A = this chain, B = another copy of it.
Amino acid sequence: MAESAAIDWDKAFAGRAEGMRASEIRELLKLLEQPDIISFAGGIPDPALFPSDVLRSAFATILSDPELGPKSLQYSVSEGYLPLRRWIAERMTSTGAPCEVENVIITAGSQQGLDFIGKLFLSPRDTALVTAPTYLGALQAFNAYEPRYDVLRLEDGKRTPDAYREAAAAAGGRVALSYVVTEFANPTGESLSLAARQRLLDLAAEIDIPVVEDAAYEALRFEGEALPSCLGLDIARTGSIERSRVIYCGTFSKTIAPGLRVGFVCAARNLVQKLVLAKQAADLHSATLNQIVMHQVVEAIYDRQIPKLVAAYGKRRDAMLAALARHMPEGVSWTRPQGGMFIFLTLPVGFDGAELLAQSLKQVRIAFVPGSAFFADGSGANSIRLNYSLQSEATIEEGIARLGRLIAGNLAAARAA
């Protein structure tokens, strides 16, 4: 028998495993389940707004159906349940991105779409263009493929395609993709202007890279008029989704229920076919039953569900904006989202969001996410993300009041020092 020395896992891992590290923030937030904490930390929908009765009834109906029942428990195709893909294609078409069922693949939330996109496009040292800040989960998905990040600047014309290309080449790779959350972004709550969307498509066409459009929050618009998605704009430019460079990642996690893990990607069929191979290799397919249920539920209630969410979350955003105006000291600024789940605060320079969180948990029992987690370059220390989708309006008022007092106290102490 050979020696039985224990394996050194860190030595056994491939180089890419190095980039897969525990987020300190996520670890910290795990500890926050004490009942007296008011949490603005998560980014999760209010379970009281899940269409629970409709879901329960769909599960019961499908599992009792002599044909659908056994089918829903069996292996199924990697591209996903055809009627759900068809529903999505029709919805995408009616909201300005004409496409066919072959342009849609079902994924385990939009997160899995991001993983597959990283897998398909990113070689080590390639550059991913992301906004600063951007969605932490996208960075985590991409990190496994060892990219370099560069900041996508869409609001001014200072950065040329060549500047991005040269910086990427100097880092030993190419510019491989661009990634944006178009509407009500996590973490800022802000949306890209029409001009910014057009500039992004220009830039992507000039560098010749895909645009990954994360539309997770798109349906949650409280006010203002919807702009065309990047996918819709690019289809208008190129004449067809088959010629578009936009990869649209959607999900039912924010509109129906995240626990079922049903999302999708909508893109040119050449790309979708490659995503199907990635899906087959990664987990064969998404849970068959969950896809059939999701189809029945969206078919039955999607158009009634969205106004309910918009009404509830809209009031909570209003409550948080009003509370911020009442309780935040001068020197603190914040975004005013027209939808989604988040408000992003910028604190006076010198503040550290992570330190403030530690202090806040201890002194006033308020949780939030320090902003630096959302910056690929580690900047953004003086920012924090607040979520308003999970708490009642009264709790939001109470929580922001406490947080405002804490920040004001810190500011006063800094001035006195």
Closest Cβ of chain B to A198, distance in Å, is 7
* Of B1, B59, B281, the contact of A202 (CB 8 Å cutoff): B1
A281 close to B144 (CB less than 8 A) = yes
Chain A 187-218, CB within 8 Å of chain B: the 1/0 string?
A: 00000000000100111011011100000000
**Cα distance, A73 to B30, chains bound together (Å):** 19
A282 within 8 A of B: yes
**Cα distance, A133 to B111, chains bound together (Å):** 34
A144 close to B119 (CB less than 8 A) = yes
Residues of B within 8 Å of A245, CB to CB, are 6-7
A73 close to B55 (CB less than 8 A) = yes
B47 close to A55 (CB less than 8 A) = no
**Cα distance, A258 to B239, chains bound together (Å):** 41
B50 close to A70 (CB less than 8 A) = yes
A63 within 8 A of B: yes
A4 close to B73 (CB less than 8 A) = no
- Stretch of A270-278, A314-322, A394-402 with 4 or more beta carbons under 8 angstroms from chain B: A270-278
A112 within 8 A of B: yes
A74 within 8 A of B: yes
Total count of chain A residues near the partner, CB < 8 A? 100
Q: Which residue of B lies closest to A245 (CB)?
A: B7
A165 within 8 A of B: no
A12 close to B59 (CB less than 8 A) = no
B72 close to A281 (CB less than 8 A) = no
A283 close to B111 (CB less than 8 A) = yes
B289 close to A20 (CB less than 8 A) = no
* Of B55, B123, B141, B289, the contact of A63 (CB 8 Å cutoff): B55
A352 within 8 A of B: no
Residues of B within 8 Å of A244, CB to CB, are 6-7
